[in-house]
Structure 1
Amino acid sequence: MIKQKISYWLSLILPGLFLLGFNIGTGSVTAMAKAGAEHGMSLLWTIVASCLCTFFMINLYGKYTVVTGETALQAFKKHIHPGVAIFFIVALTTGVCGSVMGVMGIVADVSYEWSKQFITNGIAPIYFAMFYVSLVYFIFWQGQKAFVERSLAVIVAIMAGAFVLNFFILTPPALDIFSGLVPNLSVLAQNTAQPTHIIIAAMVGTTVFSGLFIIRTTLVKAAGWQVADLKKQRNDAAFSVFLMFIISAAIMASTAGTLYVSGISLEKSSQMMALLEPLAGAFAASIFAIGIIAAGVSSQLPNVLMLPWLLNDYAATPKPMTLTRYRIVVFLISLLGLVVPIFEARPLFVMVLSQTFNAFILPATVLCIFYLSNKTALMGQYKNTLVSNVILSLILVFSLFTSWLSVEGLFITLGISD
């Protein structure tokens, strides 16, 4: 009886947990940690705005699938143009490949610094990268959806617990937290280690992630939710986004309460351990490291599966992930996780650029669902209301604004503009 109840509740929250694991990766950790280290809690409003946009988009895309029975890519292909669906496959796969490299680079780097607490000179990052790549591939190799989902749920629980615990250990003053809820664009003019433009764009890009909305539709369809489940779908989206906000804010608060108050900026991912330990103690630094590792592994699994999922979705003839061609594709994408440790690239820079790239896809994602969700022939009585269209329009403006910040920030980073 107890086992049945646990399975029932898991079935209700697993789609949300899956999205959480997909969304909160080392990209989120990096972006939120940098924001906290360089601006304290003054950019907390960015997390709030991003999470509200994410909830609305997750709910809208999920609602579309519940009503029509079509996933996002199927709808793009059928009702807009096949080229639009192909664009998303190429764009999302490109972004994910960059993310795979950055994620594993950061996780390996942090693990290396953490290992110095136990072993003289630590364990080389390449060995950690090989271990985590193998672990993710092992979970995928099992080929069972339930095993993948439950593995991800455990990893997400570890991640959430680590970052929330760290928040209570390293929390900044409550006044700073509440003042950060009020937008303050004057921070854009501050002279920090990295342009504030690109930090904000990375924060938005890693939270309001187009791949999240598109994959959401496949999860909703796989769950078998119908029109009668609209409320369940909405509650699941709200649960997922609420946890996104809590974890993202906790990460920002951890570095705001330590590095920011000490006037220390964050340049490299390995600094997270080296700088936190003397300021917060070995225990807090270790908890933060566990959170980063769990975040990396939880996001790496959906990342390496992204291309096979998209191809399956586009073809509308789902094939099992145990097929040889999919195992080869996932293996090759997984190997990208060794690029940063082997060639000693700058994982933080790779990660931020990868997440910034995602901001360029967002306007197209908003426009597509704007078109689809307003078609009476598809949505019937569930088509967008005036309020929904106004909110969508605001999200479109927000996405264009963050895309502009991405371009300007990249130009500044590359020395093209002052």
Structure 2
Amino acid sequence: MTKITDVQNLEINTLGHKFSKGLALFLPGIFLLGFNLGTGSVTAMAKAGAEYGMALLWTIIASCLCTFFMINIYSRFTLVTGETALQAFKKHIHPVVGIYFIVALTLGVCGSVMGVMGIVSEICYEWSKTAVEGGIYPIYFASAFSALVFFIFWNGKTQFFERSLAVIVAIMSASFLVNFFIMMPPPMDILRGLIPSVPQVDPSSDGGPLLVIASMVGTTVFSGLFIIRTTLVKEAGWTLKDMKTQRNDAIVSVTLMFVISAAIMAAAAGTLYAENIGLSRASQMITLLEPLAGSFATSIFAIGIISAGVSSQFPNVLMLPWLLCDYSGAERNMTLPKYRVMVFAISLLGLVVPLIGARPVFVMIASQAMNAIILPITVMCILYLSNRKDLMGAYKNSLLSNIFLTGILLFSLFTSFIGVRGVWQMIAA
């Protein structure tokens, strides 16, 4: 009897080891998914679905394809050279380029932190009204979630962040997918959304369809994603022999990115757009969805939004210290006091929107749209580096790769233009 128990225990331990090993292969991709699919994505996709139905589904497809290609091209550079993106910018282009990305991405992240906590706290406030008369004020939720993120950061280990994100991303993914089947729009609307078009709608107070497109691209094809990806690839110890592992990891990440983004858009299209309501406040996702979709669907959607917000805050607050470590070549020891002070200060930005009563959707859409402005320089840098034979050798870009990169560059220049124009219209309105 003891022998059988020992064998069973050995099998359980072996299965557990295999599962942990298998999960570890995809942790960099899961981390990126949690990074990219935050409340900014939820807001952009929900606004697109609420105001234009499934007409902008093609934007998600185009953005995910661009993201997949950029993840692979940046990862391949690190697999070949052993250098991260910031190290390469500093060494092979100019130190100022590396500093530019640190400053630009940090500013973008600060805006995102404010918008994320603003939306999450407003959603929780509306949701709490179903249990507590008058609801619990947003500032309490913002403080609690900011404290939770800082507590997990205090552990200081990347693997701990990644495993925490894996759980939260799983909850987020399940919530939005369940919601999709509850509130799915007509299949023909989904198919029509695959055809590229820009809705002929007068610009609203929130900037019109062009700004929404720019924010969708800005939140999906995010420069910080590609730069942090090279750090994760190097930290994972991947080399050229892991090219297939890297590609599979990217496929899983981007596929889930598309499915979840499309599910969010479809949920808003099947309810808010169907009733011609639109979306201008985060609280509408709760107060207006309930009579249209029922309390169960509303609760599932709220859980998804909260999970998305918390998952994106982890890498958001870590962005500055990670970039500084990467640029200087220092060990990523997040337990150092200077990094804890940085993260604490950035975490406090999450209290700004609830304290001053700003419009979180405005902050979030503008922040995501402005991210698109950084993208053209990100593309130009890797276009230059990946074509240098002295760095890439036999892995230098092919003609097809250069054609794709040039296409992404033109696409990014277009979205940068409409992002600036849309934000200006929104401010001037």
Fold match (TM-score > 0.5)? yes
For residues 260-312 of structure 1, what are the alpha-carbon distances to aligned partners after superposition, in whole Å with 9 as ceiling and x for unaligned? 01010101001110010010000001100000000000000100000000000
| Matching residue of 1:295 | 308
| Matching residue of 2:136 | 123
The letter for the 2-side match of 1:402 is T
**Pair 362,298 (structure 1): closer, same or farther in 2 beyond 3 Å:** same
| Matching residue of 1:19 | 32
After superposition, residues 9-88 of structure 1 pair within 5 angstroms as 9-88=22-101
Q: Determine whether 1:340 maps to 2:357.
A: no
Query: Which among 99, 103, 106 is matched to residue 90 of structure 1?
Result: 103
| Matching residue of 1:144 | 157
| Matching residue of 2:378 | 365
- Separation (CA, whole Å) in 2 of partners of 1:308 and 1:191: 39
SS of the aligned residue for 1:167 comes to: helix
Query: Which among 382, 403, 410 is matched to residue 390 of structure 1?
Result: 403
For residues 362-413 of structure 1, what are the alpha-carbon distances to aligned partners after superposition, in whole Å with 9 as ceiling and x for unaligned? 0000000000000001011111000000000000010011011112212221
Measured after TM superposition, the shift of residue 188 of structure 1 is: 4.8
After superposition, residues 194-213 of structure 1 pair within 5 angstroms as 194=206, 195-213=208-226
The letter for the 1-side match of 2:378 is T
SS of the aligned residue for 2:233 comes to: helix
After superposition, residues 204-353 of structure 1 pair within 5 angstroms as 204-353=217-366
For residues 180-219 of structure 1, what are the alpha-carbon distances to aligned partners after superposition, in whole Å with 9 as ceiling and x for unaligned? 000013x154454531111110000000000000000000
Aligned CA-pair RMSD: 1.0
Q: Sequence identity, in percent?
A: 66
On the 8 A contact 1:38/1:192 being kept in 2, the answer is no
Query: Which among 87, 108, 111 is matched to residue 121 of structure 2?
Result: 108
Query: Which among 161, 175, 187 is matched to residue 188 of structure 2?
Result: 175
On the 8 A contact 1:16/1:239 being kept in 2, the answer is yes
The letter for the 2-side match of 1:299 is S
Measured after TM superposition, the shift of residue 225 of structure 1 is: 0.4
Unaligned runs of 5+ in 1: none
**Pair 110,246 (structure 1): closer, same or farther in 2 beyond 3 Å:** same
SS of the aligned residue for 2:185 comes to: coil
Name which of structure 1's ranges 231-240 and 245-254 shifts more when overlaid on structure 2. 231-240
Name which of structure 1's ranges 343-352 and 362-371 shifts more when overlaid on structure 2. 343-352
Measured after TM superposition, the shift of residue 147 of structure 1 is: 1.6
| Matching residue of 2:10 | none
- Separation (CA, whole Å) in 2 of partners of 1:190 and 1:240: 35
On the 8 A contact 1:26/1:107 being kept in 2, the answer is yes
- Separation (CA, whole Å) in 2 of partners of 1:339 and 1:297: 16
The TM-score normalised by the length of structure 2 is 0.95
SS of the aligned residue for 1:360 comes to: coil
The count of aligned residue pairs is 415
Query: Which among 5, 15, 23 is matched to residue 2 of structure 1?
Result: 15
Measured after TM superposition, the shift of residue 231 of structure 1 is: 1.2
- Separation (CA, whole Å) in 2 of partners of 1:167 and 1:229: 35
Larger Rg: 2
On the 8 A contact 1:188/1:197 being kept in 2, the answer is no
- Separation (CA, whole Å) in 2 of partners of 1:192 and 1:408: 13
SS of the aligned residue for 1:335 comes to: helix
SS of the aligned residue for 1:304 comes to: helix
For residues 86-142 of structure 1, what are the alpha-carbon distances to aligned partners after superposition, in whole Å with 9 as ceiling and x for unaligned? 000000000000000000000000001111111111111011011100100010001
- Separation (CA, whole Å) in 2 of partners of 1:276 and 1:138: 33
